[in-house]
Amino acid sequence: MTLEPVSIEINGATYTRTIEPRMLLSDFIRHEAHLTGTHVGCEHGVCGACTIQLDGKPVRSCLLLAVQADGHAVRTVEALAEPGADLHPLQQAFHEEHALQCGFCTPGFLMTLEPFIRETPLDAVDERSIRETLAGNLCRCTGYHNIVSAVRVAAERAHATGAGATR
Amino acid sequence: MTVSAHIGYVGRSIPRLEDDRLLRGAGRFVDDVDVPGQLWMRVVRSPFAHARIVSVDVSAARAAPGVVAVLGGEDVREVEPIPLRLEWPGYELEPFLQPVLARDKVRYVGEPVAVVVAETQYGAEDAADLVEVELDPLQVVLDARDGIDPDAEALRDDRSNEVVLMQKGYGDVEAAFAKAAHVVSAEFITGRHTGVPMETRGLVADYDPGRGRMTIWGATLVTHYHRRVLSRLLGLSLNQIEYRPTDSGGSFGVRGDFFPEDFLVAYLAYKLGRPVKWTEDRAEHLVATNHARQQRYEIHGAFDAEGRLLGVRTEIWHDKGAYLRPTGVTVAEITLGILPGPYRLPAYDAKLHVVMTNKTPIGAYRAPGRYQTTFARERLLDIAAAKIGIDPVTIRRRNLISPDEIPWEPGLVYAGESFLLDSGDFTGMLDKSLEESGYHEWEQEAVRLRSEGRLVGNGIGYWIDKSGLGVYETAGIEVDPSGKVRVLIGGASTGQGIETVMAQIAADVLSVSPQQIEVVYGDTNLIPDGVGSWSSRSTVIGGSAVQAAAEATVAKARRLAGQFLEVAEEDLEVVEGRVFVRGSPTRGMSFGEIAAQNDTVTAMRLDEDPGLGARKIFVDKHMNYPYGVNLVQVEIDPETGGIEVRRAFCSAECGKAINPMLVAGQAAGGVAQGLGGALLEEFVYDEDGHPKATSFMDYLLPTALEVPPIKTLLLEDAPTPTNPLGAKGMGETGIIGMGAAVGNAIDDALQRAATVHTLPVTPERMLALLDTPATE
């Protein structure tokens, strides 16, 4: 198989590799960049565990080939909080509200939700909009109840600190 | 003597210790483990449900680039099948155990037939496609009731498909039916579905030939059982095998048992002298990991004129799939054991057929036996209530065992012990659940919405669970000279929060903060023995062992401090991890200082073990019985047959909730899974035994849009006397009564008894029910 050179920026660092064109972006992130916080739950784009941000937008890294991300910027869960530093407010809300159990799906939820909280005005954050945002991420442990609470808490705090969107 | 001051972490909803690493993406799951030089394994699986193996040609696969080894069933013919983990007397089960690779025959789609090992993951997958398996198809058995017909195709040439016919019961059932004012009969089916954790299975094995040691990374329910099995199958001694548990992306009882791959990965690492890694993909998971739940009930209830139960007779067909996995026939045992439930049932006669079929083996999934049996029993009660002309709450109230009838022991033996309700206030639970949920308002709302032409109804599922089993658990405490405490337990993480709960229990006894405590589970190098995390046993049995080890640690700290400070033990106090002389707080030593001072020489002089800590085993004399109520409100869309769960409530009697927030989390997760089994999730097969649900496009897990907000009520009204915490196991809370509650709510929505007989109630089934004319 012919190999392709790629250069992908992940969390601010550039990873240049020569890879098989069929390599999934999720495999590149996990096995080439060794950023194992991005998890693979189904490899067919349904569960959302592998959600990352590509140029700021949440996408499923198992549905992209690594070559498609060539020249683009990827952000993974590891970028939310520096090691040893305080948790990101969304992570902190998940912690306080007990919004994770096994934690396998959690990075995907965080990467889906972080732009939602940043971009949604507080008066548009309600049970329905939260659940619709969550609907592309599967969690088998929590029944979603506490995830919804955590999103609400995080959105209120983001608004209070000026980090949330306004109309 | 002053006992250590209780800070009171037990009973508090403290956030979890394990969260930080998981939130940062810094958890270490098995696919995150890489060992230099590792190879990748890929399993070749049977495409047929039942066939004779004519040949397995591995030559093309062996010649593929990067392939290191390919094995077929013939290469491991001498390896014995995977043994049972749970055995109950009276059954001969060996002929039904699963070989590590199929030999002579394949018996379900997904059965491992060969394995390929290659330098890369993608390369192993490519080469697996080159293994040529020639199969000669046979007739398939897909239904348990059909499977015991003498003319049915036999999965094993020399045996019936019926593994066992169980019979259990007590009392005079004939007399009960003879004097009954009402007899209600029904047939119920629970669909084939399972736990489906978000992380698939995986393993990494590394054999070091120099030291003769095998190291295995991965999430297991019971590392010490795995070690025993692997020792037996590989011919290595126990001491040569070490298990290093990783974080676990959910278990629900299905992930982490000993599967064929648990042998194959280790065997290949051993034979090849190189590390071997395997990561299951989702399509494999849905055919290879245990399925669950599929049972058919014929059930008859005898009632007096007021709706009091006189007797129950039932015959059950338990579709076991193609092999017995390590839990053997435990699910069947529990199915029969739990059927009487919280009710004053004077006579009971049950038969259960465990039958082999050409489908993925069935094992234990969160509340095995209980989900199914509760559906059958609670539906029967609602149908009886309608027939007798009383409401669903009243029929339950008339039959619930009252507190003054406790202990209740009707004479039913299952899973090796007598069914004994040692504590419980079942009517109190019902009253509080109705009150807390606002069920009366739910009923008024449903009446109002029905008057507007909408199909809205409410349903109850009253459940009891069983928790414990496995008899004992081990725990150790080690205090570091720095003052840090390590708790060592034989349990496992399934994502349930075991680190936090064990730290809370130890923290109270040691009078230290949980943040000072590190909890290590299942590591066979550090923990000599353990029974693991299943059957909601870790808090009740493991937690009790931790408490005992912590108490022994405090006792040792006092003994040593008495020596070191030269005072009588009676004059010592223990506060915040420090032992000091009463009235002179400055004259004392921290636990860390005591640990440091008790060095080997000192310990020898004092006739003590060096350091500070203790190891204890807690033996559980009897299972405990958590119980509670599931309530739901549903709305049926008559056009599409879709069913929306509008409201969900779950209560649970905890005995003692160590961390109520975590218990409520378990309950909410259970409700969502129970909803999945009631409405969405089903492993459908075509007539040739080909599975039709092999992706998340066909096997539907509940999303945030299908699961409503979940209200929980946790009670501590009836602590169990069987453990010092008084705790009842909460791991299977929330799920058990969901199938029943949903079925009963659909009846209520239609204002018609006896509609739902089969779970899941898919839109297709719902539309068929809507088209069926009312018969009763």
Classify residue A120 by its DSSP letter: S
Q: Is B576 left (phi over 0), alpha (psi -120 to 50) or beta?
A: left
Spatial separation of the C-alpha atoms in residues B665 and B733, rounded to whole Å? 10
Element (H, E) at B572: strand B572-575
Spatial separation of the C-alpha atoms in residues B518 and B8, rounded to whole Å? 18
- CA A113 to chain centroid, in Å, comes to 7
Average pLDDT, chain B: 96
Beta carbons of B122 and A22 less than 8 Å apart: yes
* Structural fold of domain B19-27+469-619: Aldehyde Oxidoreductase; domain 4 (3.30.365)
Beta carbons of A146 and B665 less than 8 Å apart: yes
In single-letter form, the type of residue at position B762 comes to T
Element (H, E) at B661: helix B660-675
Beta carbons of A102 and B281 less than 8 Å apart: no
Instruction: Give B272→chain A minimum CA distance, Å.
Output: 23
**Coil vs helix vs strand at B247:** coil
**CB nearest B23 (choices: A35, A100, A102):** A100
* Token pair 């009366």 in the structure block, residue: B440
Q: Kindly calculate the radius of gyration of chain B based on its CA atoms and give it in whole angstroms.
A: 27
pLDDT at B470 over 90: no
- Once rounded to an integer, what is the mean pLDDT over residues B460-482? 95
Write the CB contacts of B438 (distance below 8 Å, at least 6 apart in sequence): none
Spatial separation of the C-alpha atoms in residues B553 and A88, rounded to whole Å? 38
**Bridge partner list, B218:** B245
Count of Cβ atoms closer than 10 Å to residue A165 Cβ: 17
Give me the DSSP letters along B301-324.
EEE-TTS-EEEEEEEEEEE--SSB
> What does the domain layout of chain B look like in residue ranges?
19-27+469-619, 33-138+201-288, 140-192+292-400, 420-464+623-776
Specify the pLDDT at position A167. 66
Q: B244: pLDDT confidence band, cut at 50, 70 and 90? A: very high
Of A28, A23, A64, which is closest to residue A44 (Cα–Cα)?
A64
Beta carbons of A103 and B23 less than 8 Å apart: yes
**Coil vs helix vs strand at B700:** coil
Specify the pLDDT at position B753. 85
Task: Indicate whether this model's pTM tops 0.90.
Answer: yes
Tokens of B278: 């395997």
Instruction: Give A117→chain B minimum CA distance, Å.
Output: 17
Of A71, A75, A82, which is closest to residue A29 (Cα–Cα)?
A75
Strand-pair category, B348-355 with B309-319: parallel
Specify the pLDDT at position B3. 42
**Coil vs helix vs strand at B658:** coil
Instruction: Give A162→chain B minimum CA distance, Å.
Output: 23
Classify residue B725 by its DSSP letter: T
Element (H, E) at B279: strand B276-279
The model's pLDDT over A89-131, given as tens digits with 9 standing for 90+, comes to 999 999 999 999 999 999 999 999 999 999 999 999 999 999 9
Specify the pLDDT at position B702. 98
The model's pLDDT over B71-81, given as tens digits with 9 standing for 90+, comes to 999 999 999 99
High-pLDDT (> 70) share of chain B, %: 99
- Once rounded to an integer, what is the mean pLDDT over residues B229-242? 97
- Once rounded to an integer, what is the mean pLDDT over residues B585-610? 97
**CB nearest B250 (choices: A96, A135, A141):** A141
- CA B119 to chain centroid, in Å, comes to 36
pLDDT at B577 over 90: yes
- DSSP H helix total and E strand total for chain A: 5, 5
pLDDT at B685 over 90: yes
The model's pLDDT over B715-769, given as tens digits with 9 standing for 90+, comes to 999 999 999 999 999 999 999 999 999 999 999 999 998 789 999 999 999 999 9
- The dotted CATH code for B33-138+201-288 is 3.90.1170.50
Report the CATH architecture of A89-160: Orthogonal Bundle (1.10)
**CB nearest B704 (choices: A37, A38, A131):** A131
CATH 3.10.20.30 given to domain A4-79: yes
Predicted complex: ipTM over 0.90: yes
SS (H, E, C) B212-245: CEEEEEECCCCHHHHHHHHHHHHCCCHHHEEEEE
Beta carbons of A95 and B20 less than 8 Å apart: yes
> What does the domain layout of chain A look like in residue ranges?
4-79, 89-160
- Residue of chain B nearest A79, judged by CA positions: B24
* CATH class, B140-192+292-400 region: alpha beta
The model's pLDDT over B295-351, given as tens digits with 9 standing for 90+, comes to 999 999 999 999 999 999 999 999 999 999 999 999 999 999 999 999 999 999 999
Specify the pLDDT at position B774. 67
Spatial separation of the C-alpha atoms in residues B776 and B754, rounded to whole Å? 8
pLDDT at B358 over 50: yes
Rounded (to 5) percent helix, strand, coil in chain A: 40, 15, 45
Beta carbons of A42 and B695 less than 8 Å apart: yes
- Once rounded to an integer, what is the mean pLDDT over residues B466-475? 92
| B776 or A157, greater pLDDT | A157
Spatial separation of the C-alpha atoms in residues A56 and A25, rounded to whole Å? 16
**CB nearest A104 (choices: B15, B198, B703):** B198
**Chain A interface disruption, residue of B28, B198, B500, B697, most A CBs within 10 A:** B198
Give me the DSSP letters along B756-770.
--BSS--HHHHHHHH
Beta carbons of A141 and B15 less than 8 Å apart: no
Write the CB contacts of A76 (distance below 8 Å, at least 6 apart in sequence): A10, A11, A29, A35, A37, A38, A52, A53, A107, A111, B25
**How would you label B410-421 residue by residue, b for 16+ Cβ within 10 Å and e otherwise?**
bebebbeeebbb
Count of Cβ atoms closer than 10 Å to residue B56 Cβ: 22
Q: Comparing B140-192+292-400 with B420-464+623-776, is the CATH topology the same?
A: yes
CB of A63 within 8 Å of a chain B CB? The answer is no
The model's pLDDT over A47-96, given as tens digits with 9 standing for 90+, comes to 999 999 999 999 999 999 999 999 999 999 999 999 999 999 999 999 99
- Once rounded to an integer, what is the mean pLDDT over residues B536-564? 97
Given a contact cutoff of 8 angstroms between Cβ atoms, the answer to whether B754 and B776 are in contact is yes
Beta-strand ranges (E) seen in B119-158 are 132-137
Of B344, B627, B678, B632, which is closest to residue B460 (Cα–Cα)?
B632
In single-letter form, the type of residue at position B535 comes to S
CB of A104 within 8 Å of a chain B CB? The answer is yes
Spatial separation of the C-alpha atoms in residues A101 and A145, rounded to whole Å? 12
Residues of A in contact with B669 (CB under 8 A): 101, 140-143
Q: How far is CA A10 from CA A70, A73, A90, B464, in A?
A: 11, 6, 21, 50
Residues of B in contact with A128 (CB under 8 A): none
Tokens of B318: 């338990």
Specify the pLDDT at position B1. 36
- The dotted CATH code for B420-464+623-776 is 3.30.365.10
How many degrees, rounded to 5, is the angle at CA B759 between CA B753 and CA B762? 95
Write the CB contacts of B78 (distance below 8 Å, at least 6 apart in sequence): none
Specify the pLDDT at position B89. 86
Specify the pLDDT at position B2. 39
